[in-house]
Amino acid sequence: MMVRGSATRARVIAIVLLMALLALAVAGPVLSPRAPFEQNLYAILQPPSLAEPLGTDHLGRSLFARVAAATRLSLGLAILCVLSAAVPGTLLGLLAAWRGGWAERLLSALADVVLALPGLLLVLLLAALAPGAMWPLYLGLSLVLWVEYFRVVRARAAVVLAGPQVEAARLLGFGAGYIAWRHLLPELAPVLRTLTSFGVGAAVLALAAMGFVGMGAQPPAAELGLMMTELLPYAAEAPWAIGAPVAVLACAMLALVLLGERVNGEAQ
């Protein structure tokens, strides 16, 4: 009962945090007093107030507007990257487990080649082709993340396909669609939800890291890592300024980790 209660509390916390971040991203442009790029050099590094709930940055821009835009960009791009990796990774994993033989060996070799390169290094190499553009980050993260889906789905599907239930379904004449829907999907769904949750968190952190080292979004764009880089020199003078993107990033990671652990616990 205590374990179930802890899992429920973790779920509630994760959902509340994600809903708050979603509300910030969606309602930010409506509630924000100014556009995220609008400067006011007469009001730089202003503390939070009724007019500016999170204060202003070193260029007098509204931190509330910029944090809302950064949340929308980071979470939106992270979710897109994970979906673009999950679909081909899952399908290729199913193909490898179903066909076996040369198809499995070829796909496994391709996955090993991708794994041989550090993930962030691959993203950095692609980001160097077009600094400041979003498509290299999207492409690089998708290429890195699909391997995990492929390996996990292939291993889990191979066990299910070798089981007596699938063997009996084949002997009874049921086709691939029935086997996939009746036997594979119930086994893979909890694992895929866990991978998706952790994958979004990893993508958010990677995007923030790219922005922090100057290889991601470029000024005047609003992105969590880029905002931390811009505001770091003013941390002692205006700690609330750099605290805003750090708090959003921390809340996003906490929510995704709690959600991923809860799903993983239910799957077990």
The answer to whether residue 47 sits within a structural domain is no
Mean pLDDT of 153-161: 88
With beta carbons less than 8 A apart as the criterion, state whether 119 and 112 touch.
Answer: no
Tokens 């999907």, located at residue: 185
For residue 267, pLDDT over 50 is answered with no
Numbers of helices and strands, H then E, in the chain: 10, 0
Residue 247 domain-assigned (yes or no): yes
CA end-to-end distance (rounded Å), the chain = 16
Does 69 reside within a domain? yes
Query: Residue 96's Cα: distance from chain center in Å?
Result: 26
43 part of a folded domain: no
The DSSP 8-state label assigned to residue 47 in this structure reads P
- Give the span between the Cα atoms of 108 and 87, in whole angstroms: 17
Q: Is residue 266 in a domain?
A: no
Total of domains in the chain: 1
Peptide bond into 219 cis (omega under 30): no
What pLDDT, on the 0 to 100 scale, is given for residue 7?
65
The answer as to whether 112 is a domain residue is yes
Q: Are 81 and 140 in contact (CB under 8 A)?
A: no
Residue 1 reports pLDDT greater than 50:
no
196-254 confidence digits (pLDDT tens):
888 888 888 888 888 777 777 787 888 888 888 888 889 888 888 899 899 999 998 88
Range(s) of the domain holding residue 123: 1-34+54-260
Answer whether 73's CB lies under 8 Å from 103's CB: no
What helix, strand, coil percent values describe the chain, rounded to 5? 75, 0, 25
Contacts of 230 (CB under 8 A, 6+ apart): 57, 58, 219
**Taking the CA atoms of the chain, what radius of gyration do you get in angstroms?**
22
Any domain includes 41: no
The continuous run of DSSP H or E covering 236 comes out as none
3-class SS at 214? Answer: coil
Q: pLDDT tens-digit profile of 72-106?
A: 988 888 999 999 999 999 999 988 888 878 888 89
Distance in angstroms (rounded) separating the CA atoms of residues 69 and 64 = 9
Is residue 205, in this structure, part of any structural domain at all? yes
DSSP-assigned letters across all residues of 15-31: HHHHHHHHHHHHHHHHH
Q: What is the pLDDT of residues 6-48, one digit of tens each?
A: 667 778 888 899 899 988 888 887 787 788 888 888 888 888 8
Given pLDDT bands bounded at 50, 70 and 90, which one contains residue 2? very low
- The domain that holds 82 is classified in CATH as 1.10.3720.10
